[in-house]
């Protein structure tokens, strides 16, 4: 005691030791809290092997494949309408009767005129015979010309009459050209011809279709002739329908097919898809809801979309790397460039850069940079 | 005539200064380096002795040791104390092993030493010789029997595998016996005449007089067990139970800064204990006759 040489008193040393131990104890007890404040916490998920599913949901209106506008054939007044909208009609069924009274009157006049012409023709024949008997050359020639002229008039009148008779026969009514459904009736009894077709008919034998604007990523996986069964009729009587894809019309001709580095490139350009519906009870105009879900065939590494970032250099994800150090395992965020093969709204399929079971950072409590230390 | 002792005194002083510098230099270097950044440590140590094309107009120069940091940083200490729980967890493991060992051996050793030094019984010196023999044998020699015994007792991978053999170590007995043998018999005889029992004589007469010896024993035991490597390495397989002495061995080259900071903190308890018990320690060493 008396020989102390270090220059510290016992009291000072006790104080220093006490502070040293207190510091260590404080760091031990509050270490987790301090670490939490100083390192960003990350939320991770393992990259998994799987296929990517593209989904589409939309609604459309049922339309007939073929419709026919039926016009007033002769421009007469409508006498009677036999059908109304929604009626099913058979081939040859009478749809509308027209008023042909005026035409009949005209025909009668023409028949009377014909009779008159026939009478005057007989007179001309008699005149010709007299001139021949008299032997007067001049009279004979004049009588022959008059006779020939009357013959031509008669033939012409007969033609007119035939034509009128035909148009009366054809124009007094219109018949259904095929079995179908009346979708529109514009004709009104007693009214004359308007600009619109009197009746619009759909062709039942050709069936019904819907047309949808499907995002490119889903449309690209559809095949013509493929059957879809997630089509449901909405409205009063809802039921399931089946349909067949008839045509897939790519949105923009000449546009590149999917951009491997882009996240949404293939989803941007929608395609027009025609689906033929098979159902006897459809009449057209119904609303249907369509769901399409297609999975890619090949298995790739799948990561959630929120884990994928883009900048000027390309697309990348942050993976979590555990490095063994003097202080035990420490975790670091590592920027890993990837190549995207495909994506939907939730996940991204990675073609290059990642392997299954690699831990990918989804989210963090702070800004992340390559090589930054983080905590799990 | 007077110049001779003055000259020899000077030479002795210079020799001691050189010796002290040799001892203190690594400690000082450790403390200084613990305040350098990892990059600066790399520049400092990786290039020593090499010809380096310095920024000075392309001149080549030898790189020497840097004794003062360009930038003071506590980043390494924050790494050790805050960003990783490993150092602190191992520090408390060490404390949990060393404190019971030192306290236990000081108590057991001083009682046994009292018996060897002040009591007369048949075979006393022979028994002490056996004690000495166990002390003289290095740890590696007794490793296998120790392992088998601990295994049979079911103590493997438990702190008591280190603490129990530590408490009953022979060094404390040896050192305290040496110290107590210098205490005159007259004192114990006087106490006995006054009617004191063995326990009273030990606790009231011998122990207060043996304080310097106990202090010296405490410091020596603390240093010895704070630095133990083999016992925990073999008997404590569970990394969560291992003491701080194994920590420094796990530091690799990429974390030298952390190593320096950890070493500085590692030294601190030993230095503080030594300073606290310094005067007792010197006296204790002198009287126990184990100096040099």
pLDDT of residue A259: 46
Region B85-111: mean pLDDT is 93
- Is residue A81 over pLDDT 90? no
Q: Name the residue in chain B with its Cα closest to that of A21.
A: B269
- Is residue A1 over pLDDT 60? no
pLDDT of residue A322: 85
Contact A376, A322 (CB under 8 A): no
Among A6-15, A248-257, A326-335, B180-189, where is mean pLDDT lowest? A248-257
The answer, as to whether pTM is greater than 0.80, is no
Q: Which residues of A touch B (CB under 8 A)?
A: 1-6, 8, 10, 13-14, 16-17, 20, 23-24, 27-28, 31-32, 34-35, 38-39, 325-328, 330, 373
CB contact under 8 A, A28 and B275: no
pLDDT of residue A257: 46
Instruction: Answer yes or no: do B167 and B280 share one domain.
Output: yes
Among A26-35, A105-114, B80-89, where is mean pLDDT lowest? A26-35
Q: Has residue B106 been placed in a domain?
A: yes
Among A29-38, A300-309, B197-206, where is mean pLDDT lowest? A29-38
Region A82-91: mean pLDDT is 85
Residue in B85, B255, B275 closest to A31 by CB:
B85
pLDDT of residue B290: 56
Region B13-27: mean pLDDT is 94
Q: Has residue B16 been placed in a domain?
A: no
Instruction: Answer yes or no: do B69 and B87 share one domain.
Output: no
Q: Name the residue in chain A with its Cα closest to that of B269.
A: A17
Region A317-333: mean pLDDT is 78
Name chain A contacts of B255, Cβ cutoff 8 Å: 325-327
Report the mean per-residue pLDDT for chain B.
86
Q: Which residues of B touch A (CB under 8 A)?
A: 79-89, 91-92, 247, 250-252, 254-255, 258-259, 262, 268-269, 272, 275-276, 278-280, 282-283
Instruction: Answer yes or no: do B69 and B104 share one domain.
Output: no
CB contact under 8 A, B82 and A326: no
Q: Name the residue in chain A with its Cα closest to that of B215.
A: A1
The CA distance from B195 to the nearest CA of chain A, in Å, is: 32
pLDDT confidence of A5, banded at 50, 70, 90? low
pLDDT of residue B2: 60
| Number of domains, chain B | 2
pLDDT confidence of B18, banded at 50, 70, 90? very high
> Residues, chain B, total?
292
Instruction: Answer yes or no: do B149 and B34 share one domain.
Output: no
Q: Which residue has the tokens 């019904």?
A: A208
CA angle, A89 then A92 then A95, to 5°? 60
Containing H/E element for A12? helix A10-38
Q: Has residue B247 been placed in a domain?
A: yes
Among B254, B258, B278, B281, the strongest candidate for a mutation testing the A interface, having the largest count of A CBs within 10 A, is B278
pLDDT confidence of A326, banded at 50, 70, 90? low
Question: What are B138-170's pLDDT values in tens digits?
Answer: 888 888 999 999 999 999 999 999 999 999 999
Q: Has residue B10 been placed in a domain?
A: no
Question: What are B64-83's pLDDT values in tens digits?
Answer: 677 888 888 898 898 888 87
Question: What are B252-286's pLDDT values in tens digits?
Answer: 667 788 889 999 999 999 999 988 888 787 777 77
pLDDT of residue B64: 66
Q: Has residue B58 been placed in a domain?
A: yes
Among residues B138, B149, B150, the alpha carbon closest in space to that of B230 is found at: B138
Q: Has residue B98 been placed in a domain?
A: yes
- Is residue B5 over pLDDT 80? no
CB contact under 8 A, B272 and A13: yes
Region B14-25: mean pLDDT is 94
pLDDT confidence of A272, banded at 50, 70, 90? confident
Q: Has residue B17 been placed in a domain?
A: no
Environment class of B188 (CB within 10 Å of its CB; exposed 0-12, middle 13-18, buried 19+): buried
| Residue-range definition of the domain harbouring residue B201 | 76-288
B189: domain CATH number is 1.10.3720.10
- Is residue A278 over pLDDT 70? yes
Residue in B86, B92, B279 closest to A327 by CB:
B86
Instruction: Answer yes or no: do B88 and B125 share one domain.
Output: yes
Q: Name the residue in chain A with its Cα closest to that of B254.
A: A325
Name chain A contacts of B89, Cβ cutoff 8 Å: 28
Q: How many CB atoms lie within 10 A of CB A189?
A: 12
Among residues A316, A221, A327, the alpha carbon closest in space to that of A261 is found at: A316
CB contact under 8 A, B85 and A24: no
Q: Where are the alpha helices (DSSP H) in chain B?
A: 3-33, 38-46, 75-78, 86-118, 124-136, 139-153, 160-167, 170-180, 185-193, 198-200, 207-209, 211-226, 230-235, 256-276, 278-288
Region A19-37: mean pLDDT is 84
Q: How many CB atoms lie within 10 A of CB B275?
A: 21
- Is residue B292 over pLDDT 50? no
Q: Name the residue in chain A with its Cα closest to that of B267.
A: A20
Instruction: Answer yes or no: do B34 and B175 share one domain.
Output: no
The CA distance from B75 to the nearest CA of chain A, in Å, is: 12
Question: What are A161-198's pLDDT values in tens digits?
Answer: 998 888 888 878 888 888 888 888 888 887 777 778 88
Report the distance separating Cα B289 and Cα B292, nearest Å. Answer: 9
Q: Has residue B1 been placed in a domain?
A: no
The CA distance from B15 to the nearest CA of chain A, in Å, is: 19
Contact A20, B272 (CB under 8 A): yes
pLDDT of residue A256: 46
CB contact under 8 A, A373 and B88: no
Instruction: Answer yes or no: do B105 and B248 share one domain.
Output: yes
Q: Cα B284 to the chain's mean position, in Å?
A: 16
Instruction: Answer yes or no: do B31 and B145 share one domain.
Output: no
End-to-end alpha carbon distance in chain A: 52
Domain termination site, one of B17, B51, B73: B73
Contact B287, B213 (CB under 8 A): yes
Instruction: Answer yes or no: do B33 and B177 share one domain.
Output: no
CB contact under 8 A, A38 and B82: yes
Among residues A97, A64, A96, A93, the alpha carbon closest in space to that of A176 is found at: A93
């Amino acid at each position: 005691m008396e020989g102390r040489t270090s220059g510290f008193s016992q009291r000072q040393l006790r104080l220093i030791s006490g502070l040293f131990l207190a510091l260590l104890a404080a760091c031990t007890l509050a270490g987790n809290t301090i670490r939490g404040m100083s390192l960003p916490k990350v939320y991770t998920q393992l990259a998994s092997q799987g296929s990517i599913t593209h989904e589409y949901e939309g609604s459309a209106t049922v339309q007939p494949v073929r419709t026919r506008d039926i016009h007033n054939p002769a421009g007469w007044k409508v006498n009677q309408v036999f059908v109304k909208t929604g009626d099913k009609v058979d081939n040859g069924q009478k749809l509308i009767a027209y008023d042909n009274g005026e035409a009949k009157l005209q025909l009668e006049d023409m028949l009377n005129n014909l009779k008159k012409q026939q009478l005057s023709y007989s007179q001309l024949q008699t005149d010709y015979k007299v001139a021949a008997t008299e032997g007067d050359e001049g009279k004979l020639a004049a009588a022959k010309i008059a006779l020939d002229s009357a013959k031509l008039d008669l033939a012409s009148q007969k033609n007119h009459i035939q034509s009128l008779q035909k148009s009366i026969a054809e124009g007094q009514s219109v018949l259904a050209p095929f079995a179908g459904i009346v979708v529109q009736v514009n004709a009104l009894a007693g009214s004359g011809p308007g600009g619109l077709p009197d009746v619009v008919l759909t062709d039942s034998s050709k069936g019904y279709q819907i047309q949808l604007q499907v995002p490119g990523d889903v449309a690209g996986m559809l095949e013509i002739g493929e059957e879809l069964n997630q089509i449901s009729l909405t409205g009063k009587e809802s039921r399931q329908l089946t349909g067949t894809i008839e045509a897939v019309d790519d949105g923009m001709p000449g546009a590149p097919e999917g951009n491997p580095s882009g996240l949404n490139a293939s989803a941007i350009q929608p395609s027009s898809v025609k689906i033929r519906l098979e159902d006897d009870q459809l009449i057209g105009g119904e609303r249907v809801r369509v769901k399409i879900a297609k999975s890619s065939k090949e298995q790739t590494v799948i990561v959630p979309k929120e884990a994928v970032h883009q900048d000027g250099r390309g697309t990348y994800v942050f993976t979590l790397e555990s490095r063994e150090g003097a202080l035990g395992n420490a975790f670091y965020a590592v920027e890993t460039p990837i190549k995207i093969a495909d994506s939907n709204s939730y996940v991204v399929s990675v073609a290059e850069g990642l392997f299954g079971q690699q831990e990918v950072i989804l989210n963090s409590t702070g800004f992340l940079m390559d090589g930054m230390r983080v905590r799990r | 005539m007077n110049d001779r002792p003055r000259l020899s005194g000077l030479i002795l002083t210079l020799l001691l200064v050189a010796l002290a510098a040799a001892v203190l230099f690594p400690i000082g270097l450790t403390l200084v380096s613990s305040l350098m950044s990892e990059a600066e440590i790399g520049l400092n140590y990786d290039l020593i002795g090499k010809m380096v094309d310095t920024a000075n107009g392309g001149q080549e120069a030898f790189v020497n040791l840097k004794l003062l940091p360009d930038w003071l940083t506590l980043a390494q200490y924050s790494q050790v104390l805050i960003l990783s729980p490993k150092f602190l967890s191992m520090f408390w493991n060490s404390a949990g092993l060393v404190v019971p060992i030192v306290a236990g051996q000081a108590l057991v050793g001083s009682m046994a030493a009292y018996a060897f030094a002040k009591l007369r019984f048949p075979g006393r010196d022979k028994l002490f010789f056996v004690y000495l023999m166990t002390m003289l044998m290095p740890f590696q020699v007794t490793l296998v029997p120790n392992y088998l015994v601990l295994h049979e007792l079911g103590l493997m991978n438990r702190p008591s595998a280190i603490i129990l053999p530590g408490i009953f170590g022979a060094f404390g007995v040896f050192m305290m016996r040496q110290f107590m043998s210098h205490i005159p018999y007259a004192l114990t005889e006087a106490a006995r005449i006054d009617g004191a029992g063995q326990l009273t004589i030990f606790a009231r007469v011998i122990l207060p007089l043996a304080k310097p010896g106990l202090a010296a024993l405490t410091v020596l035991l603390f240093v010895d067990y704070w630095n133990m490597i083999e016992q925990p390495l073999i008997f404590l397989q569970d990394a969560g139970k291992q003491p701080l002495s194994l920590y420094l061995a796990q530091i690799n080259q990429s974390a030298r800064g952390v190593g320096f900071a950890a070493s500085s903190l590692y030294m601190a308890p030993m230095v503080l204990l030594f300073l606290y018990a310094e005067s007792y320690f010197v006296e204790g060493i002198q009287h126990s006759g184990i100096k040099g």
